[in-house]
Structure 1
Amino acid sequence: MKIKINKEVFREAVKKVAPAADKKGNIPILSNVLLAASDNTLSLYATDLDIGIATIVNCDVVEDGSVTVNAQKLMKLVSSLSVEEVECELEGSMFVVRTSGSRFSLATLPPDEFPQVKIKGENEVTVSSEEIEKAIRKVAYAASRDEVRYNLMGIYFNSTGERIDAVATDGHRLALYAIESSVSEFGVIVPKRALSELRRLLKGSGEVKISTEGNQVFFEIDDTYLFSSVIEGEYPDYMAVIPEDNPLKATIGRDEILTALKEVSVIYDRDDTQPVIMTFNPDRVRLVAKRFDSIDAGEEAEVEIPCEYNGEEFEIAFNVRHMLEAVGSFDTDSITILMDGPMTQVLIESAGEPQLKCVIMPMKI
């Protein structure tokens, strides 16, 4: 194997795939990047068997061949080079990188030890990169962190044939973002780590091709490919959770309620179960946070902001962090909170962003 390649092209390619390599080093070959040169292209692959990334770049191939090199060492090396072009060659068991005034040798492992990877599946659909990135960003916060509920520890992408729903829930709240797209029906639960890498790879791209096969999902972004095992298990009927006819309606400025929630939460430490009590009246809502623990008992915060509300005075309590994350997921000027009883699920939506819906279960006061 021998190639000549632009340093910046090489660096960006290694930067794309290296995060998929195994960092624990339990299986040495999985800590390596596979480099395969032929037909004036260089293909790079990295995988830890849960997720994998591949990319293809142009280069001058002097001699075909393949090699595997430690991903982290290769990343450090190509990031440190200041020249415009580098020459890479396999010499015996060493991967040698040369520039006009330097020479570096890295240890290798045989490429036939690298696991065979598949980069495309079946029933491919094409979706806007912007919409996929937005869907992930707007619902990921609601995914479960509880390993006991492993089937909820990702985002569920479910195509109904007319749209693709991106859904996340932990059993206490739910977020749904709908992408309008006429595609064949499919449903996969994608792990959060794979989606984090996908968001990174989507930057600057126009569209992403999605396909599935067996227990894997595949994403193609230009000349880069992300593949991941899916979370196996049945996802709950999320549409049954979304209330359709909650009669109590409050419309509030998005920035106003977000600021109010942040202000009242300052009395709390980082605790997932601290409540904010919201009391709705026709032209205002009062938010109250109280501490009841033995050390700081008696601490209280109260903020009142304007709102449009259609009912008699109504009091309800929420996990303050859940409310902050739900309201913060909207990019509109105002949000609408639709309620029924003090212990029935609440729907948060916005006329300016109809594709996004958030559901939160209230807390017992």
Structure 2
Amino acid sequence: MKFRVERDVLADAVAWAARSLPVRPSVPVLAGLLIDASDEGLVLSTFDYETSARATLKADVADEGRALVSGRLLADICRSLPAKPVEMVLDGARVSLTCGSARFSLQTMPVDDYPSLPDMPAATGTVQSDQFAHAVAQAVTAAGRDDMLPVLTGVRIEIDGSTISLLATDRFRLSHREVGWSPRTPDESIAALVPAKVLGDTAKSLTAGSEVTIALAASGSGEGIIGFEGAAPGGVRRTTTRLLDGEFPKVRSLFPAEHQTVAKVDRAALIESVKRVALVAERNTAVQLAFSDGVLTLDAGSGDEAQASESIEATIEGEDITTGFNPQFLLDGLSAIEQSVVELAFTQASKPVVISGSVGEGDEDSPFRYLLMPRRLLS
């Protein structure tokens, strides 16, 4: 194996492939990054039996061959190289890397022990890469992080014709985002549960091209797989991951059809107020929000402890209401909204609030909704 490639193209592709390497690999070869050089260029691959990454890039290949080296070490090396072409040569059990006057020699791992990467399923459709990345970033806001509840660490993807719905919940909040796309089969209706971290990292990393291809092969036995493919500097990138097994809770019914109180508030002002008032809120205590007479008053702290209070303008329709929320969960939802004015819709103080971006009259509803459970207020 012998090839020559541009430093920036190599460094970017290696860093992308290495990002999904397991922290504690079950077998040593899973810490490796597979380099496959052929007449068609380079293919860099990683796989941990759950998630695979495959980057294809252009290179001047003098001799074909394959080598397996430490992925994280190669990423660190490539990141530090000078801005000059990189040459890599396989010599026996070692790979030599030369870039300008910098030279490295890396020990290889047995290629034959490396598992075969899963095949990409047949394409289900395509979506605009920037829209998809933004939608996923909003949806994963509410995804759980407790591995003891693996179903809640996923994002449910529901495909219905030309619309993709993304749903996530950790039991205390719920996010719902819709985005349009171009399905290969117009009347396709399919659902899958995708690990939130993989989905978030992948969507963010595939914005170099205009479109992302989604390939979904779902099954009822938990052996389903989903793949994502998009253009990248110097080539193409592809990720596959196994779908999560389990029944995602039926959460759509949690969004109420009617509201008793609707308040509109400047998003930036509300975020800053919550941050300030929350400074005195003890851990696991709520920040109180009181809506009345065109004013939103935020309070935190109680008794002999530190206290804080702040008021900001609000447009309020309906009855006065006082409730409270986990300040970090509230900030997470507000930060995920892009509109300058947010709408908070209530049925009653003890029921969840639905937060969304405020749109003008006659405009379509906001494609992102964030439902947040209230917290008990300290007396």
CA positional deviation for 1:107:
1.0
Q: State the AA in 2 paired with 1:330.
A: I
- Answering whether residue 366 of structure 2 is matched by residue 354 of structure 1, we say yes
Whether contact under 8 Å (2:166, 2:177) holds in the other structure is yes
Instruction: Give unmatched runs, 5+ long, in structure 2.
Output: 218-222, 360-364
1:277 match: 288
Of residues 56-65 and 201-210 in structure 1, the stretch that sits farther from structure 2 once superposed is 201-210
Preserved contact between residue 296 and residue 314 of structure 2 (Cα < 8 Å): yes
Q: Are 1:151 and 2:151 counterparts?
A: yes
**Equivalent residues of 1:34, 1:44 under 8 A apart:** yes
1:332 match: 339
Q: Secondary structure at the match of 2:148?
A: helix
Q: CA deviation at 1:161?
A: 1.9
Residue 238 of structure 2 is aligned with which of 213, 225, 228? 225
Partners in 2 of 1:121 and 1:207 — Cα distance? Answer: 17
User: Is contact 1:265-1:289 (8 Å) kept?
Assistant: yes
Structure 2: how far apart are the matches of 1:321 and 1:77?
Answer: 38
Q: Does 1:125 align with 2:121?
A: no
Corresponding letter in the other structure for 2:358: A
The one-letter code matched in structure 2 to 1:218 is G
Following superposition of structure 1 onto structure 2, how do residues 36-51 of structure 1 map, counting pairs within 5 Å? Answer: 36-51=36-51
CA distance in 1, matches of 2:4, 2:121: 32
The equivalent of 1:67 in structure 2 is: 67
- TM-superposed deviation, 1:28: 1.3
Give yes or no for contact 1:151–1:233 (8 Å, CA) kept in 2: yes
Corresponding position of 2:139 = 139
Match of 2:210 in 1: 206
Change (3 A) 1:314 1:123: same
Amino acid at match of 2:246: G
Judged with a 3 Å threshold, the aligned counterparts in structure 2 of structure 1 residues 248 and 104 are, in CA distance, closer, same or farther, namely closer
Structure 1 stretches of 4+ moved >6 Å: none
> Which amino acid is the alignment partner of residue 205 of structure 2?
L
Does the Cα contact within 8 Å between 1:21 and 1:31 map onto a contact in 2? Answer: yes
TM-score by length of 2: 0.88
Equivalent residue of 1:96, what SS? strand
| Partner residue in 2 for 1:20 | 20
CA positional deviation for 1:52:
1.8
How has the CA–CA distance of structure 1 residues 12 and 181 changed in structure 2, closer, same or farther, with 3 Å as cutoff?
A: closer
Matched, 1:267 2:280: yes
Secondary structure of 2:73's counterpart equals: helix
- Report the CA distance between 1:45 and its aligned residue: 0.3
Deviations 1:93-143 (A, max 9, x none): 111223564543211122221110125112421011111111122122211
Q: 1:129-167 deviations in whole A, cap 9, x for unaligned?
A: 111111122122211123332201122211122311111
Structure 1: runs of 5+ lacking an equivalent = none
Query: Is the Cα–Cα contact under 8 Å of residues 323 and 349 in structure 2 kept in the other structure?
Result: yes
What amino acid maps onto 2:315 in structure 1?
E
> Counterpart of 2:108?
108
- Answer yes or no: is 1:192 the counterpart of 2:196: yes
SS of match in other structure, 1:310: strand
SS at structure 2 position matched to 1:145: coil
**Helix, strand or coil for the counterpart of 2:149?**
helix
CA distance in 1, matches of 2:109, 2:177: 44
Match of 2:310 among 293, 297, 303: 303
In the aligned structure 1, how far is the partner of 2:369 from the partner of 2:84?
A: 49
| Letter paired with 2:224 | N
Size of the aligned set, in residue pairs, is 359
Root-mean-square deviation over aligned CA pairs: 2.0
SS of equivalent residue, structure 2 residue 3 = strand
Cα gap change, 1:17 to 1:338, in 2 (>3 Å): same
CA distance in 1, matches of 2:44, 2:144: 33
What corresponds to 1:241 in structure 2? 254
Mapped to 2, the partners of 1:51 and 1:180 lie a distance apart of: 26
1:342 to 341, 349, 356: 349
Task: Describe the SS at the equivalent of 1:354.
Answer: coil
Of the three residues 269, 288, 306, the one matched with 2:299 is 288
% identical equivalent positions: 23
Q: Distance in 2 between matches of 1:268 and 1:171?
A: 22
Separation in structure 2 between the aligned mates of residue 64 and residue 106 of structure 1, nearest angstrom: 18
Q: Contact (CA 8 Å) 2:140, 2:200: kept in 1 or not?
A: no
**8 Å CA contact retained: 2:25, 2:48:** no
